[in-house]
């Protein structure tokens, strides 16, 4: 009888020597299995033609199959290996897990040998699928910890490469050397120490992850927001202005997440910089005073306009016997939008005009607290000054006489 060994890439390598019968695999993850086909005397059996086949079955129905192979560099003669991937999108409506059967088929001159083992497949949660798409860290920092919805372990042969980009320019590339498996997820620890250009800012950095399994390669894209206390304070101020009730939604699409606040601040900064009469290029790294207030007004508009769309999608009416339910907050959100948009003309445009007169069109925004005390330099010409009554003045301002 064959000994079945199956393990998931990223699990403890010691499992390679165990006869496991209750292996759990998350859908979409690659896995491997191995078994010995030996005679009663321990002599390796040879297939009559071709190679052994591994099939993954659900209640007798074929899910996927692969062809086995041997490892000639090893001395374990008679041992066969096979790689496979549990497909994503399986139907888990009948329960929180699925029981599949892994079946070996080995044909010899005498008979067809079969052996099998059960596999428990777990669904990949939607939360886990979204967790890697953005990463927020309070910097500067030397490491990034990112949770990905795969089981990975560099000690078991998995290779995780990462590249950090500033827009389209790569600023750092390396490999992950430390992983921590947490259920169906893995926490990756990425070293970013010594990168001089990786500093706190409002715009995100781009992170490309390349996960190399033995049988497959996956690529993930993530945005890395490295913020500072000033940006964190702006996030809190923005949340107070648009979510004073501190309402925690059961509907995820209506919740104000940290990433939502950051994206609203980022788009709000673009809006603030573009408001006429002058174009500016503030970075949002340390906005203070009047400049900060103008920025938050524009950010509130961006956040509330996005919220208005989601409120419209989730608005509903229900009427039944002796009961009527109406959930519609669009009017309240629209009113808040109109309020902040009216401040663009009454506050933000005059502020931008004042900034342009004082020559303040760029920087981190920290000059906002000192804006009222700053003076501007200019030249005033009066008709009765000495220079206008001199011959030099006549040369500058030709009045028809010398």
Residue listed under structure tokens 């999608």: 313
- Token pair belonging to 48: 């009559």
CA distance 299 to 269: 7
Q: Is the pLDDT of residue 209 over 50?
A: yes
Structure token pair of residue 281: 């290029």
76 pLDDT exceeds 80?
no
pLDDT at 99: 87
Class of domain 4-122: mainly beta
Give domain limits for the chain.
4-122, 126-227, 230-317+325-370
Strand blocks (E) in 128-197: 134-138, 143-148, 159-166, 169-175, 178-182, 185-191
**Tokens standing for residue 71:** 């490892």
Q: Residue 108, preceding bond cis, omega within 30 degrees?
A: no
- Do residues 293 and 268 lie in contact, with contact meaning Cβ atoms separated by under 8 Å? no
Q: Choose the weakest-confidence range: 33-47, 70-84, 130-144, 301-315.
A: 70-84
Q: Which residue has the higher pLDDT, 105 or 322?
A: 105
State how far the Cα of 77 lies from the Cα of 203, in Å rounded to an integer.
57
Above pLDDT 70, what percent of the chain? 75
Domain 126-227: top CATH class: mainly beta
CA-to-CA distance for 81 and 100, rounded, in angstroms? 19
Q: Which pLDDT score is estimated for 397?
A: 43
- Res. 242 pLDDT band, cuts 50 70 90: confident
Residue 60's pLDDT band (cuts 50, 70, 90): confident
In the structure, what pLDDT confidence band is assigned to residue 20 with cuts at 50, 70 and 90?
very low
The reply to whether domains 4-122 and 126-227 share a CATH topology is yes
The mean pLDDT of 191-204, rounded to a whole number, is 92
**Confidence check: pLDDT of 234 > 90:** yes
Q: Would you say 198 and 213 are in contact if contact means Cβ atoms under 8 Å apart?
A: no
- Main-chain phi, psi angles of 48, to 5 degrees: -70, -35
Pick the closest to residue 254 from 301, 211, 312, 335 (CA basis).
Answer: 312
**Mean predicted lDDT score pLDDT of the chain:** 79
For helices 330-343 and 289-314, the axis angle rounded to 10 degrees is 160
Which of 93-102, 254-263, 269-278, 366-375 comes out lowest in average pLDDT? Answer: 366-375
As a whole number of angstroms, the distance between CA 242 and CA 261 comes to 10
Question: For residue 47, what pLDDT band results from cuts at 50, 70 and 90?
Answer: confident
- pLDDT given at position 312: 63
* Residue 14: band (very low, low, confident or very high) from pLDDT cuts 50, 70, 90: very low
Q: What is the pTM of this model?
A: 0.66
DSSP 84-103: EEPPS----TT-S-EEEEEE
What is the Cβ-side half-sphere exposure of residue 92, based on CA atoms within 13 angstroms? 16
Question: Please, how many CA atoms are within 13 Å of residue 141, restricted to the half-sphere of its CB?
Answer: 18
Sequence-distant (≥ 6) Cβ neighbours of residue 79 within 8 angstroms: 34, 35, 36, 70, 71
- Reply yes or no on whether the pLDDT at 123 is more than 90: no
pLDDT at 319: 64
**d(Cα 100, Cα 263) in Å, to the nearest integer?**
43
pLDDT band at 336 (very low <50, low <70, confident <90, very high): confident
């Amino acid at each position: 009888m064959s000994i079945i060994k199956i393990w998931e890439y990223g699990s403890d390598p010691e499992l390679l020597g165990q006869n496991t019968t209750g292996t759990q695999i998350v859908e979409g993850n690659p896995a491997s299995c191995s078994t010995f086909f030996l005679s009663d005397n321990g002599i390796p059996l040879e297939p009559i033609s071709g190679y052994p086949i591994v099939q993954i079955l659900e209640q007798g129905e074929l899910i996927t199959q692969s062809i086995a192979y041997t490892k000639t560099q090893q001395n374990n003669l008679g041992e066969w290996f096979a790689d496979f991937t549990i497909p994503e999108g399986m139907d888990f409506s009948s329960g929180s897990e699925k029981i599949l059967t892994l079946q070996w088929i080995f044909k010899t001159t005498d008979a067809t040998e079969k052996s099998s083992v059960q596999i428990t497949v777990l669904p990949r949660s939607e939360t886990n699928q979204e967790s890697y798409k953005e990463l927020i860290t309070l910097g500067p920092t030397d490491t990034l910890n990112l949770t990905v919805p795969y089981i990975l372990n560099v000690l078991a042969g998995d290779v995780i490469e990462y590249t950090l980009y500033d827009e389209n320019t790569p600023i750092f590339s390396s490999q992950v050397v430390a992983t921590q498996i947490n259920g169906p997820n893995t926490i990756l620890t990425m070293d970013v120490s010594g990168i001089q250009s990786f500093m706190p800012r409002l715009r995100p950095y781009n992170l490309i992850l390349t996960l190399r399994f033995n049988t497959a390669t996956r690529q993930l894209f993530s945005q890395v927001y490295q913020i500072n206390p000033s940006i964190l304070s702006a996030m809190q101020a923005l949340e107070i202005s648009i979510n004073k009730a501190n309402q925690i939604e059961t509907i995820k699409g209506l919740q104000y997440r940290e990433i939502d606040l950051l994206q609203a601040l980022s788009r709000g900064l673009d809006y603030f910089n573009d408001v006429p009469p002058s174009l500016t290029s503030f970075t949002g790294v340390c906005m203070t005073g009047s400049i900060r207030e103008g920025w938050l007004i524009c950010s509130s508009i961006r956040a509330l306009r996005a919220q208005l769309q989601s409120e419209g999608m989730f608005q509903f009416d229900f009427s039944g016997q002796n009961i009527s339910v109406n959930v519609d907050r669009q009017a309240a959100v629209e009113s808040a939008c109109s309020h902040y948009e009216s401040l663009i003309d009454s506050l933000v445009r005059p502020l931008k005009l004042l900034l342009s007169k004082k020559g303040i069109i760029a920087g981190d925004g920290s000059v906002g607290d000192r804006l009222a005390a700053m003076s501007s330099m200019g030249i005033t010409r009066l008709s009765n000054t000495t220079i206008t009554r001199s011959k030099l003045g006549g040369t500058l301002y030709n009045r028809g006489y010398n």
